[in-house]
Amino acid sequence: MSVIPDEYLRYLKTEKRYAVLTVNAYCIDLNEFFNWLAERRIDYIKVQPDQVRQWSAHLHRGGLDGRSIQRKLSSLRRFYHFLLREHQVKFNPAIDIRAPRFTLKLPATLTVDTINNFLDVPSHSWLETRDLAMMELFYSSGLRLSELVSVNVQDIDWYTHQVKVLGKGSKERIVPIGSKAMLALEKWLPLRLGLVDETEDALFLSQRAKRINPRTVQVRLKVWQKKHTLTQRLHPHKLRHSFASHILESSGDLRAVQELLGHSNIITTQIYTHLDYQSLAQAYDNAHPRARKRREPTDTDSSS
């Protein structure tokens, strides 16, 4: 079996500055491909497009969905792009290979009323105060789970109501914080100071007064889901998606939502967000000059 070249791993970690989990995901995809090649005694340097296509079909026959295959092909394209840049291959064999068609399943969102019902509640402990501050920041700023747990106290600009976050690919962006989220953070901060020493910069802490773990955040959201008997699952991605959907429905500004979410490609935003069809239809009927319904004739019109 072939081994992923060390120089490629360095490229991902240092030049592309990908997170550890992202690098690991690329490695898993490549190792699966290398195993498949080894069974057929094919050198990855000599791979042809037909062989990549055969691998994609092999994955599909094995029950893998189109979206997962698309991700694996993307890993291959990136790997061979690197080899092409380093003059180790003459062409990228994965460049024109497409995954089987698949239907995007849009994640469900929470309604504004539902969010208000479980966020507009009093807190009775430091734990609940922390949870409310986390959920408010999730929904107010559309953060990813990894971004939320990485936020430090000094990343919050208390004057301009903004937070600096480190997104995918270690890309830094600044996003606004809503007034209710600011109030929740202001309530949490004094309690945080009573729990932590000066060496810990994390904004959100665990019960051990250390930076909170992503898994802990997920568990706490499930606690709130049960506490408020929500019929829908409550998890970080749903709060982020609800943020994006509500902003897009109100503004219609896809580019702004793209910037707020930290998407490098607007196509990702188009897939990630959705609008209620009835709202779109109503906006179209009200705005398009040739879509407006004609006024029904009145008795006065017919008698003139």
Distance CA 187, CA 46 (A): 61
Each residue's pLDDT tens digit, 262-287: 777 666 666 655 544 445 455 556 66
Q: What average pLDDT does range 103-132 have in this prediction? A: 86
Q: What is the 3-state secondary structure (H, E, C) of 82-125?
A: HHHHCCCCCCCCCCCCCCCCCCCCCCCCCCHHHHHHHHCCCCCC
The answer to whether residue 274 is catalytic is no
Highest mean pLDDT among 166-180, 207-221, 245-259, 268-282: 207-221
The answer to whether residue 263 is catalytic is yes
Q: What's the confidence (pLDDT) of residue 298?
A: 44
Alpha-carbon torsion (209, 146, 150, 164), positive or negative = negative
- The residue count of the chain comes to 304
pLDDT > 90 in the chain, percent: 48
Q: What is the pTM of this model?
A: 0.63
Return the minimum-mean-pLDDT range out of 15-19, 141-145, 147-151.
Answer: 15-19
DSSP string over 159-182: TTTEEEEE-GGG-EEEEE--HHHH
Measured at the alpha carbon of residue 173, what is the angle toward residues 169 and 176, in degrees to the nearest 5?
145
Annotated catalytic residue, options 72, 240, 241, 246: 240
The answer to whether residue 144 is catalytic is yes
Annotated catalytic residue, options 13, 173, 180, 237: 237
Q: What's the confidence (pLDDT) of residue 107?
A: 64
Q: What's the confidence (pLDDT) of residue 245?
A: 82
Annotated catalytic residue, options 168, 173, 187, 235: 168
| Structural element, H or E, at residue 147 | helix 145-150
The answer to whether residue 41 is catalytic is no
Each residue's pLDDT tens digit, 15-58: 888 888 888 999 999 999 999 999 999 999 999 999 999 999 99
Annotated catalytic residue, options 78, 144, 211, 238: 144
Confidence of residue 166 (pLDDT cuts 50, 70, 90): confident
DSSP-derived 3-state class of residue 252: coil
Q: At what angle do helices 49-61 and 20-39 cross, to 10 degrees?
A: 100
Q: What average pLDDT does range 248-269 have in this prediction? A: 73
Confidence of residue 188 (pLDDT cuts 50, 70, 90): very high
Q: Which residues of 4-15 are buried (b: 16+ CB within 10 A; e: fewer)?
A: bbeebeebbeee
The answer to whether residue 130 is catalytic is no
User: 227 or 99: which carries more pLDDT confidence?
Assistant: 227
Q: What average pLDDT does range 110-118 have in this prediction? A: 88
Q: What's the confidence (pLDDT) of residue 304?
A: 37
User: How much is the mean pLDDT over the chain?
Assistant: 84
Q: What's the confidence (pLDDT) of residue 266?
A: 65
The position carrying tokens 């079909």 is 57
Q: Environment class of residue 44 by beta-carbon count within 10 Å: exposed (0-12), middle (13-18) or buried (19+)? A: buried
